[in-house]
Amino acid sequence: MLEVKDLHAYYGKSHILQGVEFNVGQGEIVSLLGRNGVGRSTTCKAIMGLVALRGSIRFDNEEITGLDIHKIAHKGIGYVPEERLIFSGLSTRENLEMGVKKVGADEKWTIDDAYQLFPRLEERADVKAELLSGGEQQMLSMCRTMMGNPRFVMIDEPTEGLAPQIVSQVRDFLLKVAERGVSILLVEQKLSIAMKISHRVYVMGHGEIVFEGRPDDLEADDTTRKEWLEV
């Protein structure tokens, strides 16, 4: 579904991504692992057209490199950034409504789906988003993205700073998304989550992919984990 080849990305004169290559198949959960600052979030931003880049990004066998952000989104790509970026002055329900693609669209994901996955959102439907807890805001950010019915979604650090109970709910949400055939690129610090739900994992170091394989392969590779993941 997504194929990235020889991807380079830049912030000004800083060369962040240096020839990144990976792919994500239909309905797969693929995790992008690594320490902070190695380029994982930049990879998501590059795919979404948010940073200067060169290389090839193909989605459904179509080159999307260089397209405007809204055109990339309309292709069926969703993005949940680490910052969450909710509309703080709008209610929970209004935030979800803002994510709906258009009236009359083929709605595979609905607001009722969001409420079913995260009942707390329905309880807080009329509460302004700025008054939600961090966990509730994360739920809202992910569900709002799904309202656009993406076929591929990138989710950056969804469990950062969340209580264990909420982390478990986020994990279940990701599995439900994949069950519906939506492909996921997950940027995650918690190896315990990524290793349990991912079909494949990539490890990044210094702007490059340094490992590719199944979670079991990474579990057995002490050298890679010690050099590129452990603090």
At residue 23, what are phi and psi to the nearest 5 degrees?
-145, 155
- Looking at the predicted structure, is the pLDDT value of residue 160 above 90? no
106 pLDDT band, cuts 50/70/90, is low
Encode pLDDT of 173-219 as tens digits: 999 999 999 999 999 888 889 999 999 999 999 999 999 999 999 99
Encode pLDDT of 12-71 as tens digits: 989 999 999 999 999 999 999 999 999 999 999 999 999 999 999 999 999 999 999 999
- Looking at the predicted structure, is the pLDDT value of residue 101 above 90? no
- Looking at the predicted structure, is the pLDDT value of residue 107 above 70? no
- The residues, any chain, with a CB within 8 Å of residue 93's CB and separated by 6 or more, are 111, 125, 126
Residue carrying structure tokens 């930049």 = 42
Give the span between the Cα atoms of 224 and 32, in whole angstroms.
14
Q: What angle do CA 196, 201, 205 make, to 5 degrees?
A: 130
Measured between its terminal Cα atoms, the distance across the chain in Å is: 33
Q: What's the whole-number average pLDDT of the chain?
A: 92
3-state secondary structure of 71: helix
Residue carrying structure tokens 């490059």 = 208
pLDDT for 161: 83
pLDDT for 163: 86
pLDDT for 171: 92
156 against 230, higher pLDDT: 156
Q: Which two tokens stand for residue 125?
A: 């439907």
pLDDT mean over 108-135 = 93
Q: Quick one: what percent of the chain has pLDDT higher than 90?
A: 82
Give the span between the Cα atoms of 190 and 4, in whole angstroms.
24
pLDDT for 53: 94
Q: Which two tokens stand for residue 65?
A: 């490199």
Element holding 197 (H helix, E strand): helix 191-197
- The residues, any chain, with a CB within 8 Å of residue 173's CB and separated by 6 or more, are 117, 118, 139, 142
Q: What is the 3-state secondary structure (H, E, C) of 86-107?
A: CCCCCEHHHHHHHHCCCCCCCC
Q: What angle do CA 95, 101, 107 make, to 5 degrees?
A: 100
Give the span between the Cα atoms of 206 and 146, in whole angstroms.
31
pLDDT for 105: 52
pLDDT for 83: 85
Beta strands in the chain, from DSSP E residues, in sequence order: 2-11, 14-24, 29-33, 52-59, 62-63, 77-80, 152-156, 183-187, 200-205, 208-213
Domain 2-228 CATH (choose: 3.40.50.300, 3.50.50.60, 3.30.56.10, 3.40.50.11540): 3.40.50.300
Tell me which DSSP letter residue 136 carries: H
Domain coordinates of the chain in residue numbers? 2-228
pLDDT for 102: 63
